[in-house]
Amino acid sequence: MAIVSELEQQLDVISVLEHWGIDTSYIRQIGAGEYRSPCFIHGGDGQTALSLKMNNGRWYVACFSHGCFKGTLFDWAITTGRTPRQILDDYKMCQLDTVPLHRHRTRRTHTQGSQKGGAVFLPDNTMEQFEIGIHRDLIDLGYDRDMLTNVFDVRYCADAEHVLYGRIVYPIRDKLENIRTIQGRRTNALPHDAAKYMFHPGYNAKDILYGQYEMREMIRKSRYIVVAESPKSAWRGYQLGIPTLALMGIRWTDAQVKQIAAYGKRVVLVADNDDTHVGVNGMRELRDALSRYVAVELRVCPHVGADISDYRIREQWDYIIRNGVVG
């Protein structure tokens, strides 16, 4: 099918996987058009068990662990119950060069995003489509309502037809306040097997550190910056007066390394204490990459299963930054 090959050659493959509910935080790029990850088909946890590779204009999927699938991405999507038409529609929505703001265009129209210097931006009024208000999940976790609303523009997607329905949503801004994408975080209203995080389809912001714009004044006045995994950690850090940027996952890019190094400040990386050690290993690699440019230290949250956002008191953060488990 020529149309499939044509669409796959311009496909943002990570975005389409996220749209299909796959947790892409463990997927690592190992080369041009080639990724490795735990197998999201049978649920294996080997970090290189599954290969996702572009070959002759088509994306191919192969499980090396259990051999549960080997073939094209399109054929695998068929096995999940999607029709060819649905897959093609999803492909069109997640193209690298055409990025519709909303999947259901027939219901409402939006101002299209703009492009500057190769980066695509969403319109400034993008967040107006979401409900103003903080989800109870965040209130229960002790976050300040005014801070989330006024500083980070955190909202909730109540539109049942939107791809981010049932999620806490927030804009990902660059240093100049441009909205590069919107991320949605799963709430308790969604099934537990739903992807924890999803990006707005088609808008790629994997080269951005979350919180750069919101933390700009705090970073300017500080001698150090903290880099953690999730936006929740950035929110907690801001609330406690600690400049904290988020990678938005365990994967990092060369662009993020350059952005961190450009601050010229001491860097403290804080890894989640998960039982798979995937986050710690990713932060170790980031530490090694950053050590060529700035003074950098790695800390691991002292309690198993904890991330830095779980600590709600400034003194706890200060202790982890100074004396936490060294990764």
| Strand ranges inside 161-243, DSSP E | 167-173, 179-186, 197-199, 224-228
What value does the mean pLDDT take over residues 214-240?
95
**Sheet with 197-199: strands ordered across:** 131-132, 155-156, 167-173, 179-186, 197-199
Orientation angle between helical segments 231-240 and 314-323, nearest 10 degrees = 110
Tens-place pLDDT, residues 169-197:
999 998 878 888 899 999 988 888 888 88
Place of tokens 């703001």: 101
Tens-digit pLDDT profile for residues 58-107: 999 999 877 889 999 999 999 988 899 999 988 887 877 543 333 332 22
Share of the chain above pLDDT 90, in %: 43
Helical (H) or strand (E) element with 87 = helix 84-93
Residue 82: in which H helix or E strand, if any? none
- Domains, the chain: 2-93 (no CATH), 114-199 (3.90.980.10), 216-326 (3.40.1360.10)
The 10 Å Cβ neighbour count of residue 161 is 11
Q: Which of 4-8, 205-209, 299-303 has the lowest mean pLDDT?
A: 205-209
pLDDT score at 216: 92
Q: What is the mean pLDDT of the chain?
A: 84
pLDDT score recorded for residue 118: 45
Largest Cα separation within the chain, whole Å, is 60
pLDDT of residue 45: 63
**Global confidence as pTM:** 0.65
CA dist 155 → 33, 147, 296 (Å): 34, 12, 34
* pLDDT score of 145: 93
The pLDDT of residue 151 is above 70: yes
What are the structure tokens assigned to 103, written together?
């999947």
More confident residue, 100 or 156: 156
Copy the structure tokens of residue 206: 């994997």
What average pLDDT score do residues 227-242 get?
Answer: 97
DSSP 8-state secondary structure symbol assigned to residue 99: -
**Cα–Cα distance between 185 and 102 in angstroms, integer?**
17
| Cα separations in angstroms, 198 against 19, 57, 171 | 7, 26, 12
Scanning 117-177, the segments in alpha helix (DSSP H) are: 136-140, 145-150
Query: What number of residues does the chain have?
Result: 327
Is the pLDDT at 325 greater than 80? The verdict is no
Asked if 321 and 301 touch (Cβ cutoff 8 Å), the reply is no
> Which letter does DSSP use for residue 119 in this model?
E
Using 50, 70 and 90 to split pLDDT, how confident is the model at 108?
Answer: very low
Where is 309: in which H helix or E strand? Answer: none
Greater pLDDT, 82 or 118: 82
